[in-house]
Amino acid sequence: MNCENVKGLCLKYTDLTEEDIKILESMVLQIPNTAELTGTDIFIDAPIKDGFDAVVLAWARPKCRSLYRNSVVGELALATSEPAVYRTLITGETCRNVRGVSQEGIPIAQTVVAIRNPGDKIIGVLIMERDISEELRQEEQFEFLTQTAERLSNTLMNLSMTGSQFENWVGNGIFVLNKYSKITYVNKKAAKIYQEYHGFEALGHDFLFAMFNCSCLEELLDALKSPTEFCIMDKSYLFEAYPLVTYGDLSGCVISLRDITDLRKKERELNAKSTVIREIHHRVKNNLQNVAALLRLQMRRSDLDTVKAEFAASINRIISIAMVHDVFACQNCDSVDLKDLSQRILNALLESSTSTEQSIEAHVIGQNLHLQSIKAVPLALVINEILTNSFKHGVRHLDKGVISLEIIEENGQIVLTVRDNGPEPEVPFDKVKQRRLGLQIVDSLVEDQLGGEFGMERINGMTVVTVSFPIHNSEGQL
């Protein structure tokens, strides 16, 4: 980022003071790493002299997933076309997930956070934009499925009663049973499997009850309410039952079976490659550690404490991500032990953020919860930023400090609670969150990538930071 351009734009378009411009220049230097880590386009805008519009001072984008092809730095963000930016500049309120369309026609969600100077004056905004094309597609698909579910049930019953043909429905073998458990329809794929297994045609006969240890339709539906795998003549099939309801009464069911023999073969091949996958994670971890080492060398060349602090913050973020890959390199499953990951990050910060004169009591308590890999990196960054805040602004000047991180599962939510015995901030916690980049990163990651909530408060002489988010994703996976 070219800070000379930032200063030139500020002097040309704004009434900001030299001190305010320096604050914005410092913010500009920090956003490239955040853009790459979060996978979002990040902008910094400042209000221009007319009091309504803003000028784009800086833009940072992820290397592979940017929403923009051309730079918009130096262009004006008009209040009429950027209402979220205008609102935050006027009110200071954070605008989250405001939906819109980028200049390239891509649907986006925009989060806007105010940037304030020490006098609490709004001197600019930080804007994060992410692609929501997939979210919109899923919303449309859900609405469509909701409207057509009952029609599908009625259509299947009509096909079975009229003898109509609908071959190879979604590529699966299909049986349609009436309420007496008799097969009233069977497509070619299912008919062939039934013929090979029994030696006679399926139509009009009972389903394969003996295989599932069931004696009636209700027991079969209960046994196959979720996909269940069975082997027939050295082949693997996935069975699932769908009840058919007419006027509130069970009138039959549809049995779907899918040949997954090739899938199981591929899974065995993938399992054979697990060592290679773990080695990749190990190398990624080593590469990240090398990057951190290079940043440390660069940090030592500076005599400015503020520059060293920014380098240290970036190094800790990189190390946190490296720890996630280190966990994956040591195990076979695609998940991480949250307690183990938290302890690793805490130990690294203890080593880098405390002096020999200090006595810091720091520990991780709570449950051993496993977290899906897609959430591991953003959560590692969240834990790093919160613990860094406790070390830097909480116990930094204490001879005896206490920091604890508690992990619990509560009503389908993972709750992380960090406590420290540092002094109470001189400004309200909402102002603290707005002024510190690390906490702004936490706020954004928790809201946008974890789908959770982030709060700070003072309880019994302790600063308490709480992060909560669903343990399951939208597909019900951990």
Question: Each residue of 82-131: pLDDT tens digit?
Answer: 889 999 999 999 999 888 877 677 888 899 999 999 999 999 999 999 88
* DSSP letter, residue 182: B
Distance CA 186, CA 176 (A): 6
Rounded to whole angstroms, how far apart are CA atoms 160 and 173?
15
Q: Which residues contact 356 (CB under 8 A, 6 or more apart)?
A: none
Q: From the centroid of its chain, how far is CA 119? A: 35
Quote the DSSP letter at residue 478: -
Q: pLDDT at position 47, please?
A: 94
Contact predicate 117/20, CB 8 Å: yes
d(CA 80, CA 53): 8
Tokens of 457: 């408060």
Hey, what are 101's tokens? 């369309």
Distance (Å, rounded) from C-alpha 101 to C-alpha 248? Answer: 44
Q: Please say whether the beta carbons of 467 and 386 come within 8 A.
A: yes
Query: How many helices (DSSP H) and strands (DSSP E) are in the chain?
Result: 14, 18
As a whole number of angstroms, the distance between CA 183 and CA 203 comes to: 5
pLDDT computed for residue 1 by the predictor: 52
Q: For residue range 370-402, list pLDDT tens digits in order.
A: 887 778 878 888 888 888 888 888 887 888 889
Residue 214, CA distances (Å) to 211, 221, 256 in order: 8, 9, 17
In a 3-state reduction of DSSP, which class is residue 405?
A: strand
Vertex 385 angle, CA 381 and 391, to 5°? 140
140 CB-near residues (< 8 Å, 6+ apart): none
Please tell me the predicted confidence (pLDDT) of residue 93.
93
Give Cα 60 distance to the centre of its chain: 20
Low-confidence ranges of the chain (pLDDT < 50): 144, 147-148, 151, 155, 159, 161-168, 474-478
Vertex 94 angle, CA 103 and 450, to 5°? 85
Alpha-carbon distance values, 133 to 59, 89, 99, 101, 185 (Å): 22, 28, 11, 10, 40
3-state secondary structure of 57: strand
What pLDDT is attached to residue 434?
73
Helices marked H in 355-420: 373-389
Q: How far apart are CA 214 and CA 228, in angstroms?
A: 14
Rounded Cα gap, residues 20 and 145, in angstroms = 52
